[in-house]
Structure 1
């Protein structure tokens, strides 16, 4: 039963990774725009969101 659960989690992760990459790309663009516009609040929000996405990606890759 444990192996079945692990297999299902792995398949969910495989489907999530491409979406996660798109989210990271979008957030990087948002960060770039905020830096260019000198919007410090948005810069901090984007950095926080990128850190969350990074953590999720690392969990999925493990």
Structure 2
């Protein structure tokens, strides 16, 4: 029974982490959009780097399937 509870908790924690990463992804997309509108190359570069890291994290968690 403990194993079942552990598996369920682990699943719930992964699900919550995916949701958090997706919110961060949305935020970084908005940041990138604003930076592109302003023509701020440094913010564009930073946002793209953050988006790349978030994409890797989500891909590791199989969040895109």
Q: TM-score range by the shorter chain?
A: 0.7 to 0.9
CA offsets 1:16-44 (integer angstroms, 9 cap, x no match)? 01111110000000000000000000000
Matched, 1:47 2:41: no
For structure 2, the residue ranges without an aligned partner over 5 or more in a row are none
- Give TM-score, length-normalised by structure 1: 0.80
Count of aligned positions = 59
For structure 1, the residue ranges without an aligned partner over 5 or more in a row are none
Alignment of 1:18-33 (within 5 A): 18-33=19-34
Which is greater in Rg?
2
More helix by share: 1
Deviant stretches of 4+, over 4 Å: none
Superposed CA RMSD: 2.1
